[in-house]
Each structure stands twice: as structure tokens, then as C-alpha cells.
Amino acid sequence: MIGISISLGAFAKSADKQTLVMAQQIDNLITLDPAALFETAAQEYAYNTYQRLLNPHKDNPGQFTSDIVRTWDVFDSGRSYIFRLFPKLYFASGNPLTAHDVVFSLRRAIRLNKAPAFLLTQFGFDSQNIEHRIIAVDNTTVKISLSETVAPSLFYSCLTSPVASIVDSVLLQPHLAQDHGHMWLSKNYAGSGPYKLHAWQANNSLVLVKNEQNIQASKAKLAKIIIRHIKEPSTQHLLLDKGDIDIARNLLSFNNLPADTTKVSVLRNWLKYLALNQNNSYLSKPEVILAIKHLIDYQQIADTILRDEVVVNQSFIPLKVMGSKYNDFYQYDLIKAKELLATAGFEAGFSINLVAKNLKLAQAIQSALAQADIKVNIIPGDSRQVLAKFRARDFDMLIATWASDYSDPHANTVAFATNPDNSSASTSKTLAWRTNWQQPEFNIISEEAKKELDSQKRANLYESLQKEFLQIAPIIVLFQEVETSVINNNVSGFELGTDSNATNYLHISKL
């Protein structure tokens, strides 16, 4: 049943070995339609309840696995792809999962054209050409043709995203007429993953149960997973201490943890960065940009103020992703920073505004720049307010976080380094655009790397681009985020993913 009322009794102490209770902030779960969802909690839901042609490899970014495809091959210099499905696959409804469902799902996502659709349409797909570019050769064979040569790992990475989830075309058929079934699927379920939806109450709870139709579900030790929306970290800590939950996902402090609990951490593909608006007369000076990079003591902030939350990474490509290099390019150097400011004519400093949600980090930046008489006025805001100012280019300096859309270097290269049209009417709106910064050479290198079929040559292109970016860019990447959960010691097998669409519930068990 979907949207049923859940009694408080359902949230009693989690003594049942087949039921897991997890506390997590899930207020950003606003739709269950995998072709429309884009938020972190929603992507995690889709990963565990739907299947895709490919999954990201748990330990090797850029490599792929699959639960439903036995072979996948690329032809025509990276323009044509053949996927051969295993036979006898089924949705939770009992309907067979065939190549026709795969084709239906990909075409539907493109036609629906919600926010995540760009992950597919960037390859030249549109509602007019998908009839002959995404086809079912037979019941177990899918052929996909792109409009241009693309590095296969890039295309495969995008197919691991929730937008490429396979939905039950037969179950969805009665709901297609008005909106491609979006309204119905926003609150209901039509998947084939190891877990299926049992109940969802927005801003309250999400309940999943084992999908017996799924072959991989035979490995699952849990019959039910209850995810409670608990916003306050202090409340999560209390519930964990009382034994009312098995996993706390959003603790802010890891001091004085309850007895018999363990921390589980993963390095996320999320980057914290400082953007300097090039419309500002101070910040547009190359010497000022370079001085600010040397005023920040990256390691000291990571070890103290943001302890357990980040690691130093100054590259716009996340660590462990192809081409990532120069993660500690800049070191704290106050003397050099002051010399650079004097060269720029700002030996006496200047005043500047900083827009930020993360006040701990904002205050650290404020203190760092004060060493060179740069007075920073912090303008606090929530996520929505900060994003609105960033999108409107209405800021001097701004701190934000970027979550990679997929584990391929192209995702972040486009965001951080490219800006084909710096005009106000531009449709690009990349981070470089928002910062009023344009480096035409980077647009060319990005396109070249996107199409390079040789993996080593492709990695080299990204490495060279990163080095130049670090030297001149007004976007200062500071850290890569670490996500940490705290689990009871009777729980094992909980796998946090580098991306939200890779956190896996399948192997969780309880003693």
C-alpha cells in the first residue's frame, strides 16, 4: 500500500532481525518517479528499488556492473551500443522485464524532460529521434545509437543514473495519457529492484520491503527497511542511544557516540568550493585570486573546523575519478599572499561580502582573509537563498557544494571549467558562467576529452586542463566531503556509496 498511515507502533525498538530502522533527513524526497527525482534521498531510494542497464562499480570508478545485462558492447567508434539482457527477468508486479521495457523507460524519460533528463539528452536524444535511436532488436536486445562519438565510459556513467531506471511499461500503461504516467509514478511504484515500495508519507517515513521477484533479493537478509525522517541530529543521537533506530545518517558530531556503535564513512563525489565573482573589481585581478588561494590553510581547516566532514581536494574532479590530480596544489603562504596583493595595489586590503550556508567554513575563510586585511562580511542564507544569489550572479564571494551527477570527469569539467556563452541570455548557466568567468580554450579541451576513446589520452587531457584551471580559475575548490553514518554493532553490510545512487541496502544484516 502506498501513502498509508503508519502508527507509532511501527517505530518501536528495532529488535526484529529482519527489520532495519534508519533515521535520515528525507524531506527532499518529493517524488518517487525515477525519471524526475534528483535529490539525494530520492536517488538512494531509486537505487535500491529500481534497476538500470548498468551500475557503478563499488570499488573502481569508471568501471561498471549489471544485474540484468549479460553483455554490453560498443561499436561505430563510440556511437552505437548493444545491451543483451538476461532472460527471465521480472518486475515486482510479476510482469516480465524485457528490452521493450528498457526502450520504453529511456524514451519516456526523454519525453517527460524533467530536470535529470539532460543526462540523456546531452547525447543528442530528443522526442523526435528516439524512435530510431533507442530500439529493441528483440525481447532481450537493446540497441542505442548516439548522434556523435562519445567516450563509452561517459555514456555508461550516465546510464547508471536514476533517470535511466527501468519501469514496468505494462503497469504504467493505464496512466500514460496525460503526463507519461508522472503523476501516478510520483506516489507509486513500478520497479524491479531488490526492495520495493511499501509505504511513503512525505516528511515522515519511507518503508521498503523485499521484492521476491528480484533474483538478487535472495541475498537480502532484511525483509523490511523503515526510514524515518528525523531532521535534528540530536534526536537521531538520542534514538540511537535508546536502541530505537539501527542507523543514524545525519549526525553532526561523532564525539560521545552511544556504546556498541560504529562509524561507517565514505568519500563522496561532493566538492566544497569558493566562487569569486569576476564582475567585482577586486576579485577580477589575477593576483587577488592567487593571493586568496594562498591565504587559506586547507589542511588546518580540514583537521579542526571540518574534522570528519572533509578531506583536502583542490581539483574540480573528485578523488579516485579518472583524471583527478593536483588535489593539494596550493599551500598556505601568508608572505606570498601579501606580496601578490601589494602587486595588485591592495596592500591595505579591501572589504568584500561572502554569501554562505555553511557558517563554520565561512568564518574560517573570513579569518584567513583577515590576515591580509581583507575584511569579509558574511551574508548567511539557506540552500535556496544561496543558490538563488549564485544563479543571479548576485554575490562577491560565495561558498557552495557541488555534487557530481555521475562518476565521470566530464560531469564536473562542464560545470566548473566551461562557459560557451557568457551573456545573460546563455542557456549554459555553468558554475563558470555564474562566476562571470570564461576561458574559451577550456570549452575546446572539454569537447575533445568527451570524444576521446583512448582512456589514457582522455585522462591526460583532464589532467592538463586541471593544472591550468588551478592556476587561473576564480573558482577555488577547497574540500571533498566525507559522509559518515553511525550504526549499531549488531548491523553489518551497510554500503555507503560515493554517489547517492550507489548506497546499497542489499547486503545489510542484523544479529
Q: Do β-strands 397-403 and 141-145 pair in parallel, antiparallel, or remain unpaired?
A: unpaired
pLDDT over 90 percentage in the chain: 89
* Residue found under cell 533507442: 134
* Nearest CA among 319, 271, 266 for reference residue 61: 319
Cα dihedral 163, 164, 170, 173 in deg (nearest 10):
40
Q: How many CB atoms lie within 10 A of CB 345?
A: 11
Integer Cα distance of 476 and 283 in angstroms = 12
Helices and strands: H and E segment counts in the chain: 18, 19
* Nearest CA among 214, 167, 172 for reference residue 195: 214
Prediction pTM value: 0.92
Tell me: the pLDDT tens digits for 164-216? 999 999 999 999 998 999 999 999 999 999 999 999 999 999 999 999 999 99
Integer Cα distance of 318 and 62 in angstroms = 12
DSSP bridge partners of 248: 23, 486
- Interval 399-423 mean pLDDT: 95
Residue 3 gets which letter from DSSP? Answer: S
Asked if 413 contacts 446 with a C-beta cutoff of 8 angstroms, the reply is: yes
Tell me: the pLDDT tens digits for 266-284? 999 999 999 999 999 999 9
Tell me: the pLDDT tens digits for 414-462? 999 999 999 999 888 999 999 999 999 999 999 999 999 999 999 999 9
Integer Cα distance of 97 and 116 in angstroms = 23
Integer Cα distance of 309 and 315 in angstroms = 17
Q: At what angle do helices 286-295 and 334-343 cross, to 10 degrees?
A: 160
Q: Do β-strands 350-356 and 397-403 pair in parallel, antiparallel, or remain unpaired?
A: parallel
Q: Is the pLDDT of residue 13 over 90?
A: no
- What is the distance in angstroms between the CA of the first residue and the CA of the last residue of the chain? 29
Cα dihedral 230, 232, 237, 239 in deg (nearest 10):
-40
DSSP secondary structure string for all residues of 100-147 = HHHHHHHHHHHHH--GGGHHHHTTT--TTTHHHHEEEEETTEEEEE-S
Exposed, middle or buried: residue 88 (CB in 10 Å: 0-12, 13-18, 19+)?
A: exposed
CATH code matching the domain that covers 268-483, chosen among 1.10.3720.10, 2.60.120.380, 3.30.230.70, 3.10.105.10: 3.10.105.10
Integer Cα distance of 294 and 284 in angstroms = 16
Tell me: the pLDDT tens digits for 88-134? 999 999 999 999 999 999 999 999 999 999 999 999 999 999 999 99
Tell me: the pLDDT tens digits for 303-318? 999 999 999 999 999 9
State whether residue 193 is helix, strand or coil: coil
Asked if 69 contacts 53 with a C-beta cutoff of 8 angstroms, the reply is: yes
DSSP bridge partners of 278: none
**What is the three-state SS of 348-364?**
CCEEEEEEECCHHHHHH
CATH code matching the domain that covers 8-229+489-510, chosen among 1.10.3720.10, 3.30.365.10, 3.40.190.10, 3.40.47.10: 3.40.190.10
Q: What's the confidence (pLDDT) of residue 14?
A: 58
Domain spans in the chain, listed from the N-terminal domain onward:
8-229+489-510, 268-483
